[in-house]
Amino acid sequence: MSRKKGNNVDGILLLDKPLGRSSNSALQKVRYLFNAKKAGHTGSLDPLATGVLPICFGQASKVTSFLLDSDKRYRCTAQLGVTTTTGDKEGEELNKIKVTHFDQDDIEKVLANFRGEIEQIPPMHSALKHNGQPLYKLARQGIEIERKVRHVTIHQLTLIEFTKDSITLDVHCSKGTYIRTLAQDIGDALGFGAHLSMLRRTEVSPFDCSKLYTIDEIESLEKDNKLSQILLPIDSALLEFPAMILNQKDVSLIQNGIRVACDDMPESDKIRLYNEKEEFLGIGEYMKNESGKTLLKPKRLMNTQLI
């Protein structure tokens, strides 16, 4: 569905990825609707999952690495009493245990152990690679590889609701957190086992995710030639970093890859750079040379002819 040629589109779209569609399929559909030369997403969602999938068009692709490192928020449901080969409802049933009575206090005692920094073992059904091969492909061949424990942070873990055999949670977490694994581990801690039956990503930092766009909405806007109205500016992905406004001379130097001497500069490895018209130029970096002089170093610049 992707087009070899297209328009130069720059900006970020907050897509509401539909259920049952892969992230790449959703990306290609949106790219087609925008007739964009270049587009990419910032961290895939499984077909089972719905919710926020930032799509970066054109120059915005230069900030995708920063978004991969950002915190995320999810709403998920763990189905208790049944474990599966994949850790979610798409897998084959492994074990089935009768779910006996439990109450909110039982859940809260378990959840307390999963807040803060925790350890996770990445699932075999994941995109992590072993010798260049995604683990999920090995898993489909019945091959299991030893995976290293990783440390992730659960900033908030809140019980939303529960039934006699399921719990629904709100999870605010660091990058690299596997919600399937979290659901399984919580189910094990309750004594019943579990698999993930629902997953929706509700937030990707630092965006305001109160308004997402479905593919149907995008198709309607495309017919009315209003697609440009729903794109966020590139620097909306970088608002957590300090900003600097440069004069015309320094802009010219930075855009030519030359370090600029600056005394009043944030000590940060990521600084948003703007010209005097407050137009976004890219990312700079604080550094000191051998003599201790403070310099602004270009790190990731946009291809722009603003000056």
Same domain, 137 and 103: yes
Same domain, 251 and 214: no
Do 200 and 76 belong to one domain?
yes
What pLDDT was estimated at residue 43?
80
Q: Known catalytic residues? A: 46
CATH at 279: 2.30.130.10
> Are 151 and 185 part of one and the same domain?
yes
Burial of 189 (0-12, 13-18, 19+ CB in 10 A): middle
Asked if 48 and 90 count as a contact pair (C-beta separation under 8 A), the reply is yes
User: Is 248 a domain residue?
Assistant: yes
> Maximum distance among all alpha carbons in the chain?
72
What is the domain count for the chain?
Answer: 3
Give yes or no: residues 108 and 164 share one domain.
yes
DSSP 18: P
- Per-residue confidence (pLDDT) for residue 126, from 0 to 100: 60
Judging by DSSP bridges, how do beta strands 194-204 and 271-274 pair with one another? unpaired
Q: 10 Å Cβ neighbour count for 148?
A: 7
224 and 251 within one domain? no
Q: Is residue 292 part of a domain?
A: yes
Q: What is the pLDDT of residue 125?
A: 65
Helix (H, G, I), strand (E, B) or coil at 14: strand
Percentages (nearest 5) of helix, strand, coil residues in the chain: 25, 35, 40
What pLDDT, on a 0 to 100 scale, did the predictor assign at position 294? 85
Go through the chain and tell me how many residues it has.
307
> Looking at the structure, do residues 90 and 182 belong to the same domain, yes or no?
yes
Model pTM above 0.75: yes
Q: Is 158 helix (H, G, I), strand (E, B) or coil?
A: strand
Pairing of strands 243-245, 271-274: parallel
Buried b or exposed e, range 257-286, using 16+ CB within 10 angstroms:
eebbebeebbeeebbbbbbeeeebbbbbbb
Domain that holds residue 264: 241-301
Q: Mark the ranges of the chain whose per-residue pLDDT is less than 50.
A: 1-3, 305-307
Beta bridge partners of 283: 272, 300
Whether 5 is covered by a domain: the verdict is no
Q: Based on the domain organization, do 184 and 276 belong to the same domain?
A: no
The distance in angstroms from the start CA to the end CA of the chain is 37
| Residues 224 and 106 reside in one and the same domain | no
pLDDT score for 267:
83
Q: State the CATH number of the domain containing residue 19.
A: 3.30.2350.10
